[in-house]
Structure 1
């Protein structure tokens, strides 16, 4: 199996830039020079002592010392040579082998086995690294299989969305239209209870159509028209207000705003975000005419938006529940809707890399929703 290679390693700094082989060579060179210098100095000292014509007993003793030093230097030289061979073949070569194997794995060949025979410490280390590599590869394969299954499932969901938007809505339209035609044609022959039943059937078909459309909108976030570019959030708000112009006028709603910035986002989805929040504020209004304010402030590399209204508000204990799909706090006959609006808003915000929450810090009537969106950059503000 070959997948994307790992990023290059960090460059070593300080004394770590020198390979271990060079450290051994440097240490061996210093030891060799010291050994040769010691042998030369010792031989010179013995030669000077012989030149002084010592007594026979002293001369014999110096001869034995001379022989012992020669044997000692020979043993030290043999030990140095043996140590060099041991370091070369028991340390440096296995390290080079393990390094080459690790580089091969890092280059993308994650099926390559890591193994060295010696020394015991490196053999144990290589076995641990190889076990870790094997676990990572196994987990990656499971994740790859799950990703493939997820792609297949998403394809099926897209097919279902297509069916829902076409094949399912057509029978609903027929149910609604033919039921209304039944009422128009035979209305005079029906009693009040029959007309009430017809009303229930038409209302149920229309609510089912609305629910299907809202579910399609929810499923399309991040999948359809998902390109994110530098977008003027003020223009998105203008489009949302144009879409709601009739509702705003009928309810005498007043919408105020700060100067809205440019953000990194999708124009259609941001328009839908503003539209859902304003429509939600109008729906849950109090007896007074709705007053809505769209505010914004900078928070690091994000813009923090807010939507405040003077409506009936939301109790703090429902701050998380209102963002769940199909969760309603009021009966359908009091406040219409499918219970998807705020869930859709949060999904749009999270798709853009932000967060959305209900602000309970402001006292008084109404509700304040806050959300963050990534700034487009100082050059584009």
Structure 2
């Protein structure tokens, strides 16, 4: 199996830039020079001693000393050659083999086995590395299978979304329209309870249509309308305010803003983000006219936005619950809606690489939502 190669290794620093084999060569060369120098010094000193014509007993001792030194130098030479052979074939060559095998795996061939026979330490190390490689490959294959299954499941969800947007809404429209026609034609023959039942049926059909549309919007984030471009976030806010102009005028709401930056994102989704947050601020208003402020500040490589209002607010203990799909804190007859709005906002923000949360430490009396979106690097 061949997958994307690993990034190049880090460059060694200091003495680590010299390979192990070169270290052994340097040390061996120094030892050889010392050995030759020692032999030359011994031979010179022996010749000088013979030239002095020592007594016979001293000469005999010198001869035995010379023989012992020759034997010692011979043993050292044999040990040095043996050590070089051992290091070369028992250490350096296995290290080269393991290094080459690791390079092959790092290049992308993750099915390549890692194995050396000697020495025992390198054999154990290669065994552990090969076990980790096998586990990683196994986990990668499982992830690949799950990705393929997820891709297939997403395809089925897209088919379901198509059915929901067409085949399911058509019967609902018929139920609502024919029920209303029933009330118009036979309204004079129906009592108040029958008219109430008809109202329940029409209201239920309309709420089901709204729920289906919200579910479709939630499923489309990052999938159908997910193209990102460089946009002015202020224009997205302008579009959202234009869509909510009737609601803002009816409630006497005031919306202020900071100077908004240029972003890299999807215009429709960012408009929907602003629209849902402002609409929530207007919906959950207090007795005073709604006052909403859209703020922004640079935080490292992210823009941090905020939407603060003077409404009824949200208790901190519900800070996570409000972002779950279909989760409501109020009865439907008090505050209408499907309970998808904030979940949709969080999904939009996460698709753009940021996070959305409720600021429980905000100074404003109402609710303050904050979210981050990566900066493009352009100035305002």
Relative to the length of structure 1, the TM-score reads 0.97
Q: Secondary structure at the match of 1:175?
A: helix
Q: Return the alpha-carbon distance in structure 2 between the equivalents of residues 28 and 21 of structure 1.
A: 10
Partner of 2:144: 144
What are the Cα deviations for residues 326-359 of structure 1, in whole angstroms up to 9, with x where unaligned?
1111111111100111111111112212222222
Deviations 1:225-270 (A, max 9, x none): 2123322111000000111111111222211111111122211111
Partner of 1:281: 281
**Cα deviation, residue 287, structure 1:** 2.4
Match of 2:367 in 1: 367
Deviating more after overlay: 361-370 vs 25-34: 361-370
Corresponding residue for residue 12 of structure 1: 12
Moved more, 301-310 or 76-85: 301-310
Q: Match of 1:334, SS? A: coil
Q: How many residues align?
A: 380
Match of residue 234 from structure 1: 234
Gaps of 5+ in 1: none
Give the 4+ runs in structure 1 shifted more than 4 A: none
Shift of 1:364: 5.9
Per the alignment, residue 60 of structure 1 pairs with 60
SS of 2:263's partner is strand
Report the Cα distance in structure 1 between the residues aligned to 2:25 and 2:364, rounded to whole angstroms: 79
How many angstroms does 1:288 deviate by? Answer: 2.3
Offset of residue 148 of structure 1: 1.0
Distance 1:355 1:315 in 2: 20
Once the two structures are superposed, the pairs formed by residues 100-119 of structure 1 within 5 Å of their partners are 100-119=100-119
Q: Which residue of 1 aligns with 2:319?
A: 319
Q: Would you say the 8 A contact 2:311–2:365 is kept in 1?
A: yes
Alpha-carbon separation, structure 2, partners of 1:317 and 1:51: 104
Higher mean alpha-carbon deviation, 177-186 vs 21-30, is at: 177-186
Indicate the SS of the match to 1:195.
helix
CA distance in 2, matches of 1:358, 1:104: 49
Q: Which residue of 2 aligns with 1:82?
A: 82
| Secondary structure of the structure 2 residue equivalent to 1:286 | coil
How far did residue 363 of structure 1 move?
5.0
1:306 aligns with 2:303: no
Report the alpha carbon displacement of residue 81 of structure 1 after superposing the two structures with TM. 0.7
**Per-residue deviation, 1:316:** 2.1
Q: Provide the alpha-carbon RMSD of the alignment.
A: 1.2
Deviations 1:117-155, CA, capped at 9 Å, x for gaps: 111111111111111111111111111111111111111
| In 2, Cα distance between equivalents of 1:311 and 1:19 | 69
Give me the whole-angstrom Cα distance separating, in 2, the residues matched to 1:337 and 1:156.
27
Greater shift after overlay, 294-303 or 118-127? Answer: 294-303
Shift of 1:277: 0.8
What TM-score do the two structures reach when normalised by structure 2? 0.97
SS in 1 for 2:114: coil
> What does residue 351 of structure 1 align with?
351
Distance 1:284 1:360 in 2: 17
Unaligned segments of structure 2, at least 5 residues: none
- Kindly state the Cα deviation for residue 360 of structure 1 after the two structures are TM-superposed: 2.5
Q: How does 1:211-290 map to 2 (within 5 A)?
A: 211-290=211-290
Cα deviations across residues 288-326 of structure 1 (Å, max 9, x unaligned)? 222211112222221221112222222222222111111
Deviates more, 1:310-319 or 1:63-72: 310-319
Task: Classify 1:59/1:365 alpha carbon distance in 2 versus 1 (closer, same or farther; 3 Å).
Answer: closer
C-alpha distance in structure 1 between counterparts of 2:82 and 2:288, whole Å: 97
